[in-house]
Amino acid sequence: MRVTVRSASAFCLAAMIPAATACGSGSSSSNPFASFPPATVPLVRLSTDTFTNSTSQHATEVEPDSFAFPGLTTFQGGGTNAAVSDAAVIYDAKHAVWLISSLPISASGIQVAVSRSTDGGATWSSPIVVSQGANLDKDWITCDNTNTSPHYGNCYAEWDDNGQADLIWMSTSSDGGVTWAPAVRPAGAALGLGGEPLVQSNGKVIVPFLGDAFNIESFSSTEGGTSWSAPLQVSTVNAHQDAGGLRSDALPSAAMDAAGNVYVVWQDCSFRTGCSSNDLVMSTSPDGVSWSVPARIPIDATTSTVDHFIPGLGIDPATAGSTAHLGLTYYYYPQTNCTPATCALYVGFISSLDGGSTWSTATPTAGPMSLSWLPSTFSGQMVADYIATSFAGGKAYGVFAVAKAKSGATFDQAIYTTRAGFDVAAAQGRFSSAGERAVVARTRLNPSSGRVRKIR
């Protein structure tokens, strides 16, 4: 199982703590949600923020499925950067090396850097710079791990340049991340962020991302990363602005089954009258070119008051097609029209045994959390831009941030997972959204992000 951790102040490798106690919503007189039912799934805390520098909001760990090693920042290990952000991790089977991509941030700009470990994470190399610029953003990394692929052992880094209208760039390494080819752009105008590259067994790389025109789009390469296709539209995005000043966006979460089918999930309000809240919707493709019409994941009825956002999709790598096992972790508000003081933030989980045709009963996994327990950013209170779900031994493990009540000005937000994982094969319920139709939306500019969003 891949478990990775990010902190808002700095980054560190965190091991699972077998003796860790279960996490719930906590008992505190400052809890404004005493009347809300607490989630009761036992959790394991994965990490602790040990830093004390005054330039950060401490104990505010966000965005699991990201990671960096000691030594990147000035606060540990003699690094030279003020902070590091947006990290992701992958294993390169051909070269037996773990690779971590991240964005080191300093006064001179932002880099895309890759760190290597050949001993299972015990030690790490100095960061290898893939690219640098004034405002690089949302990097990701993956490797071709199919030994029959013509490009076996190639690893692919992706990022966007926010300072150049979100131009998307790709770079390829064929030597375990030691060296990286000059960055290249997809053909045409690939503008956006949040790309998550996936590699099929034939060596084709498919990269779903959120386009700046507020579409989910995808581009690909069959040439081992020497050239990339122009982006194709997967779907337009119709998005409800989540209440309470929460930082969230329709960044896609992408995963691939054993047959190479690509699944992409994002938040979308197309099925809600008046765009009153977001559902999570999914589109699939066998080749990154032909995509299915987005289907709503039936977590609850379209008449519910629930708002769903920030999905993290995982697929059991031993399953495929109509018997693919899917696990989906996400955040939600039980009441969409809440205020910063009343929004109750939860983590939920839902699964499918048939490639997303039907879904289990959803399970509240953590919460309720108050938005006042979350760290502040320039674009709102932050619990995560993305989260993760991974399968191990047939069970699904969501990895997510949980916040508890602050002690004075000290935060208590860290990364957790479920103690036992979810047994997807034993999940109850078979709910389908077959036959549901999205409603037509008109376009307006979302003032919080400057991107075009669809809204009723």
Q: What is the Cα–Cα distance from 162 to 103, expressed in whole angstroms?
A: 13
- Reduce the DSSP state of residue 424 to 3 states and report it: helix
* Mean pLDDT value of segment 58-63: 85
Predicted confidence band at 7 (pLDDT cuts at 50, 70, 90)? very low
Query: Tens digit of pLDDT for each residue in 403-452?
Result: 999 999 999 999 999 999 999 999 999 999 999 999 855 343 343 443 43
Predicted confidence band at 302 (pLDDT cuts at 50, 70, 90)? very high
- DSSP for 133-148? ESSEEEEEEEE---TT
pLDDT at residue 29 tops 60: no
Structure-token match 């050239």, residue found: 227
How high does pLDDT run on average in the chain? 89
If we measure between CA atoms, which residue out of 95, 148, 396 comes closest to residue 260? 148
Edge-to-edge, what's the strand order for the sheet holding 97-106? 83-92, 97-106, 109-117, 128-133
Token readout for 219 is 């581009």
DSSP H or E stretch at residue 312: strand 307-315
Token readout for 21 is 């106690």
* Mean pLDDT value of segment 147-168: 97
Structure-token match 């953590």, residue found: 366
pLDDT at residue 313 tops 90: yes
Predicted confidence band at 71 (pLDDT cuts at 50, 70, 90)? confident
Query: Tens digit of pLDDT for each residue in 79-133?
Result: 889 999 998 999 999 999 999 999 999 999 999 999 999 999 988 898 999 999 9
Residues in the chain: 456
Query: Tens digit of pLDDT for each residue in 359-395?
Result: 999 999 999 999 999 999 999 999 999 999 999 999 9
Give the pLDDT score at 444: 38
Which residues are bridge partners to 91 per DSSP? 98
Q: Contact 158/221 with Cβ under 8 angstroms?
A: no
| Residue 430: DSSP 8-state | -
If we measure between CA atoms, which residue out of 98, 282, 211 comes closest to residue 453? 211
pLDDT at residue 217 tops 80: yes
DSSP H or E stretch at residue 322: none
Percent of the residues in the chain that have a pLDDT greater than 90, as a whole number: 77
Give the pairing of strands 128-133 and 452-455.
unpaired
* Mean pLDDT value of segment 144-154: 98
- DSSP for 363-415? EEEEEEEEGGGSPEETTEE-S-S--EEEEETTEEEEEEEEEEEEETTEEEEEE
The domain spans of the chain are 146-455
CATH classification number, 146-455, choose in 3.30.70, 2.40.50, 2.120.10, 3.40.50: 2.120.10
pLDDT at residue 399 tops 80: yes
Residue 12 or residue 157, greater confidence: 157
How many angstroms separate the Cα of 437 from the Cα of each of 32, 170, 407, 454? Answer: 37, 36, 47, 16
- DSSP for 223-285? STTSS-PPPEEEEE-B----GGGB------EEEE-TT--EEEEEEE-TTSGGG-S-EEEEEEE
pLDDT at residue 5 tops 80: no
If we measure between CA atoms, which residue out of 197, 17, 193, 169 comes closest to residue 99? 197
Least confident of 74-88, 141-155, 196-210, 344-358: 74-88
| Residue 45: DSSP 8-state | E
If we measure between CA atoms, which residue out of 340, 265, 348, 266 comes closest to residue 304? 348
